[in-house]
Amino acid sequence: MANSVHVRQRRNIAFCGHGSSGKTTLIDSLLINTGAVSGHHSVDDGTSICDFDPEEKAHKHTVEAKVTHCEFEATHFSLLDTPGYADFIGQTIGALAGVDSAAICIHAHAGVEVNTRRVFHAARQAGLPTALVISRLDGDNIDFAALVKQIIAAFGDSCALLNIPKGISESFSGVIDMLDPSTDTSGAVIACDKVREHLIETIIEGDDAMMEKYFEGIVPSVEDLKAAIPKAVLCGQLIPIFCTSSKLNIGLSEMLRGLKLCAPSPDAISRHGVTEDGQEMDVLADPDAPLVARVFETHIDPFVQKLSFIRIYSGTLSKDQSVHVCSSKTTIRIPQLLEIQGNQTAPIDRATAGQIVAVAKVDELHTGTMLGDTQLPPIPFPRPMVGLALSPRSRGDENKLAAALHKLIEEDATLRLDRDVQTSELVIVGMSEFHLKLILERMHYRDKLDVDTKDPKIPLRETIQTEAEGFYRHKKQSGGRGQFGEVHIRMFPLPLGTDIKEFAVKERFPNMKHIHYDESCNFLWVDSVVGASIPGNFMPAIEKGFKERMVKGIIAGYQVQDVAVEVHYGKHHQVDSSEAAFKIAGAMVFRNVFREANPCLLEPYVRMDVTAPEANVGDIFSDMSGRNGRVSGSETIGGGYQVVHCEVPFREVLHYNRTLSSLTAGQGSYTIELDHYEPMPHAVQQQYMIAIKEQEEELV
C-alpha cells in the first residue's frame, strides 16, 4: 500500500518522552494490533521490534531512534521510536526532523519528568504540533486528577483530554470519549463535565462564530468539533491527551484514531527553504514538485552496512535516480530504496513527498545531507561538552580505533572527535558521561574493541600580568655559513576586549611602522624597528618564531593569549643572517621575556543552566558556591521546577552529572557551554605547573 498512499493519508509521528514511559512497548503493540508484524514482541524479553541493538537489550532502553510503519483505517502511519535518556536527545532531535508531529508519552504514575519537558521543547523548536499520551494506566499508585493538573501546569491550558480512563490501575477497563456527549460515562475517574467543557473551549477558541454560539448555549456538534480539531492542533491551540495501557491493550486503537484526526498529514506542515540561487520558498508536500529531501538519521549495523534514513519533504525519489547533493554540490545515484520496519528492510521502487525511506551504503550521505537544490534550516543538534581521552587497550589497534570512532560519529550528531594538541590523544566529546559510556559499549559489542579512558586535559591558556623587555642574540659559528640574528622586544599584557586602536597609540609606540593583530589568540604585534637594524624581510620570520612559541606554551604547555609584543631594535649580519636564524631569535626572546612578565595560567569558565525540582535548588546553590561557581539567578519554569543560571570553572564540573544526579535523585539536568577565560587561583596553578614539569621530566 505504501506507494499508492495519498499524502493526506499519511501520518509521520515521533514517539518521545522520558525513559520507561512505555514508548517502545506502545509502538510494538500498535504494530501487532494493526497486523503490521506477527508474533510476540516485548522489550522485557529482548524481542521488541524497535529495541533490537545489543546495548538496548542489555539496558532495556532505546538508544537509537527507529522507524516502523503500520496501516490503520485507510491511513499509513510511520511511527518513530526515540530514546528516553536526555543524554540521547540528539536522536530525538534527528527523528523530529523526519516527522510532522510528536506524541509525547507520560508515565501515569511518574508524571511529567525531566525528559518529558526536554522533548516537548524540542518538538516546539522543530515547529511541530504535539499530542500527549498518558501511558501505563494499569499501574499502581496513580492519582489521575493530580496528573492532569501537573500536565497543565507544565505545558499549559492547551492540553485537553480527548478521552479519560474508565477505572484506574488494575480496574482500568476502557477509555471514555470526551467529544461525544452521548458516551456512557460510568466508571469515569474524574468529573466528565468539566473535562468536556475545557476540551470544547480549547477546540473552538480560534473560531469566533462557534465561540459566540457556544456562549449563547449552543454546543457544537461532534462533527463540527472534529472538523475544527486539525487546525486547532496545528496552531498549538489544542494539545490533545490520550489515555492508554499497552499491557492491557486499552486505548490504543482510540489513540490511533485520535492521531489520524489530530496529527497533521505531511502537506499540512509548511517548511521554509532557500534554493541554491538564494531564493526563499515554501516547501510543499507535492509529489510533482522538485525534490527536497534530507537524511535525518544514520545507522550502522554490525555488518557495517550504513543506512541513511531520508525524509522526502517534496517531490519523488526513485531507485537508480541521480540526485543533487546540496552541501557538496555533487550528483549521486540512489542505488536502491528501502522501506523500514525496525531492523527489517524491504526494497521499493519509488517514494514520494511525505514518505520516510532508507538508502544503504552510500558514502556521500550523512545526517543532515540535503538532496535536491533547496536547503532547509539545519537540524539543531546540541553542542557536546563532556570529553574523554581514549587509547586502544591493545597496542596496534590505533587504526581500528579511528575507524570505529568514525562510525560512531557518523551515527550520532551529538558526538565530536577532537585531538588534544599537547598530548595528541584522541578525545571523544559527548553529551554526558553516560552517553559516552554507552557509546563505548557499542564499540565493544560492534567492533570488539576496548579502550582505556581518562579525563582529557582541560584546555587552559597562558598569559602575562606585567610588562617586561629583553633581547636574544642567536649566533652560531660551526663550520660553513654561520647563523646570526638579534631581536629586542617589549611585551605587554593585552586583556581580552582591549580596544586595539586605543592601545596601539603613538605615546606607547612612538616609532610604530606596522601592526598585525591575530584575533584567534588576541595577539598584537608591533614593528617599530628604527632604521635598518633588522632588515624588513626578516620581520615575518620573527613573527613566525613568536607564533610557534605561543602555540607550544611556555610555563605549562598551553596556548598563549592576550599578549602584545613590540619589536623595537635588533642586529643583523650581512652574510650570516637568515630567516631561520631570526625565527629562532624570535622564539627565544619571546620565551625569555614572557617568563619575566609575571606569567599565569588562565582557565575556562562555563555557563551552566541547571534544571532541578524546587526542593533541591538550595542544595544546588550551596554546592555551586563550594565549587567557586557564581549563581547569576534562577527562574521558576512551572511543574515544581526551577532553572539555576551560573558560571563556574570548568575543572570543577567535569563530573557534575554525578553530583546533580545524587542531589536531585536523578531529576535534574543541565546544559553547559564555554563562556570565557579567567586567571586560575595561584594554588591550583602551582599543581598544574608541577604536573607539567613531572611529565616533561618523564619524557626526557
Among 12, 62, 116, 414, binds ligand GDP (CB under 6 A): 62
For 646, residues 6+ apart whose C-beta sits below 8 A from its C-beta are: 607, 608, 610, 624, 629, 630, 631, 632
422 binds, among ligand GDP, Mg ion, none (CB under 5 to 8 A by kind): none
Considering only residues 88 to 127 of the shown chain, the ones binding ligand GDP according to CB under 6 A are 105
286 binds, among Mg ion, ligand GDP, none (CB under 5 to 8 A by kind): none
- CB 110, min distance to ligand GDP, A: 11
Buried b (16+ CB within 10 A) or exposed e, 567-584: bbbbbbeeeebbeebbbb
> Does residue 331 contact residue 276 with C-beta atoms inside 8 Å?
no
- CB 35, min distance to ligand GDP, A: 20
138 binds, among ligand GDP, Mg ion, none (CB under 5 to 8 A by kind): ligand GDP
* Contact between 138 and ligand GDP per CB under 6 A: yes
DSSP state for residue 575 in the 8-state scheme: T
Q: Compute the distance between CA of residue 169 and CA of residue 141 in angstroms, rounded to an integer.
A: 8
* Contact between 57 and ligand GDP per CB under 6 A: no
> Does residue 475 contact residue 484 with C-beta atoms inside 8 Å?
yes
22 binds, among ligand GDP, Mg ion, none (CB under 5 to 8 A by kind): ligand GDP
- Residue number with CB closer to Mg ion (92 or 352): 92
Q: Compute the distance between CA of residue 563 and CA of residue 491 in angstroms, rounded to an integer.
A: 7
Which of 525, 523, 592, 605 is CA-nearest to residue 555? 592
341 binds, among ligand GDP, Mg ion, none (CB under 5 to 8 A by kind): none
- CB 60, min distance to ligand GDP, A: 6
* Contact between 246 and Mg ion per CB under 5 A: no
Amino acid at residue number 481: R
Which of 107, 104, 23 is CA-nearest to residue 68? 23
Helices (H), 315-397: none
For 578, residues 6+ apart whose C-beta sits below 8 A from its C-beta are: 483, 485
Site size for ligand GDP (CB under 6 A): 21
- CB 193, min distance to ligand GDP, A: 28
Among 14, 17, 18, 24, binds Mg ion (CB under 5 A): 24
Render 69-102 in DSSP notation, one character per residue.
Answer: EEEETTEEEEEEE----GGGHHHHHHHHTT-SEE
- Residue number with CB closer to Mg ion (23 or 572): 23
- What's CA 174's distance to the chain center, in Å? 39
Can you give 100-159 as a three-state secondary structure string? CEEEEEEECCCCCCHHHHHHHHHHHHCCCCEEEEEECCCCCCCCHHHHHHHHHHHHCCCE
Among 11, 12, 21, 644, binds ligand GDP (CB under 6 A): 21
Per-residue interface string for the shown chain with ligand GDP, residues 31-50, x marking contact by CB under 6 A: ------------xx------
Amino acid at residue number 599: P
* Contact between 247 and ligand GDP per CB under 6 A: yes
Which of 491, 488, 508 is CA-nearest to residue 499? 508
Among 10, 23, 66, 306, binds ligand GDP (CB under 6 A): 23
Among 10, 11, 41, 61, binds ligand GDP (CB under 6 A): 61
457 binds, among Mg ion, ligand GDP, none (CB under 5 to 8 A by kind): none
> Does residue 392 contact residue 402 with C-beta atoms inside 8 Å?
no
- CB 81, min distance to ligand GDP, A: 7
246 binds, among Mg ion, ligand GDP, none (CB under 5 to 8 A by kind): ligand GDP
How do 10-17 and 101-107 pair as beta strands?
parallel
Render 161-203 in DSSP notation, one character per residue.
Answer: ESEEEES-GGG--EEEESS-TTS--TTBSS-HHHHHHHHHHHH
- CB 23, min distance to Mg ion, A: 5
- Residue number with CB closer to Mg ion (134 or 234): 134
Give the binding range for Mg ion (CB under 5 A) out of 17-25, 98-106, 370-378, 384-392.
17-25
Per-residue interface string for the shown chain with Mg ion, residues 29-68, x marking contact by CB under 5 A: ---------------------------------x------
Give the binding range for Mg ion (CB under 5 A) out of 21-29, 246-254, 631-639, 671-679.
21-29
* Contact between 578 and Mg ion per CB under 5 A: no
C-alpha grid cell for residue 312? 522526502
- Residue number with CB closer to ligand GDP (12 or 135): 135
DSSP state for residue 557 in the 8-state scheme: S
559 binds, among Mg ion, ligand GDP, none (CB under 5 to 8 A by kind): none
* Contact between 577 and ligand GDP per CB under 6 A: no
* Contact between 198 and ligand GDP per CB under 6 A: no
Binding site for ligand GDP (CB under 6 A): 17, 19-25, 43-44, 61-62, 84, 105, 135-136, 138-139, 245-247
Q: Using CB under 5 A, list all residues that contact Mg ion.
A: 23-24, 62
